[in-house]
Amino acid sequence: MLEGLLSIRATDVLDILLVAFIIYWVPLLIRGTRAVQILLGLLILMGLYVVSKKAGMVTFQWLVGNFLGNILVVLVVVFQSEIRRGLAKIGQWRLFGGGGSAPDPDVIGDIARSAFLLASTRTGAILLLEREMGLSELVEHGKKIDALFSHELSAAIFAPASPIHDGAVVIRGNRIVAAGVILPIPAESSVTREMGTRHRAAFGVASETDAVGVVVSEETGNVTLFFNRVARRTETQEQLRDTLELLFGSQENARERV
């Protein structure tokens, strides 16, 4: 036994660790999505295939066997969204490059102030704050702007009379890079079933990218923060500011207040 342990190479240990990491990481990636039910369905189908093989159910075994024979293609087609998101998360690791620009603390404070001023007048709004994963693909679907963020500009964009008030505003660093951005609406799930259109759109972007979404509801005046597939209702301007500072690493002690 001792000889067997001594024969283990460093590459063997690395191999085991990488496989263990993938097994741990995949469930985290698909948690809370329809992929969980799809994966469960595939596992049940595989179990039925094993049972049919032992029971001698030739027709069912042939049908399911041909389906599972192309399982790699099936997995790519069914889980294309999760695979795309996973590859994007791997690509954003700092090992492969630097991070995106974060807003200055003053701008973060202005964003929080702007959100609650819009909420006080029940003005619906979506503010998307870009982090390390670029949102250039979304920017192409809006009106390009290059201006320092300010509440006055935000209020003008989201004013009901504005022709671009229905879309989202994309913020890169301290600047608004696009307004009137039309966001894709994700498929309905148990998480988004009770959400309105704005909230579902922001949740979809926060699920596919590492962007942070701030949504103001025109029906209730509530302010909701979306990040990492999490929806968090914020009650005060200070709470929103502290959470944004934590997410963008602008303040070391913000973690204690979130």
Classify burial at 145, counting beta carbons within 10 Å of its beta carbon; exposed 0-12, middle 13-18, buried 19 or more.
Answer: middle
- Residues 46-73: what's their mean pLDDT? 82
| The 125-129 sheet, strands edge to edge | 143-148, 175-181, 168-172, 125-129, 212-216, 223-227, 230-234
CA angle, 134 as apex, 130 and 140 as ends, to 5°?
100
Beta strands in the chain (DSSP E): 125-129, 143-148, 168-172, 175-181, 212-216, 223-227, 230-234
Quick check: 177 pLDDT over 90? yes
pLDDT tens per residue, range 87-133: 666 665 544 444 457 889 999 999 999 999 999 999 999 999 998 87
Higher pLDDT, 98 or 139: 139
Quick check: 252 pLDDT over 60? no
Output the pTM of the full model. 0.63
- Residues 10-33: what's their mean pLDDT? 75
Q: Highest-confidence range of 96-105, 186-195, 208-217, 247-256, by mean pLDDT?
A: 208-217
Nearest to 214 by CA among 246, 186, 243, 189: 243
Q: Highest-confidence range of 48-57, 86-95, 206-215, 247-256, by mean pLDDT?
A: 206-215
Higher pLDDT, 166 or 39: 166
Residue 166's pLDDT band, with cuts at 50, 70 and 90, is confident
Higher pLDDT, 94 or 247: 247
Per DSSP, 95 falls in state G
pLDDT tens per residue, range 33-54: 566 677 788 888 888 888 888 8
pLDDT of residue 81: 64
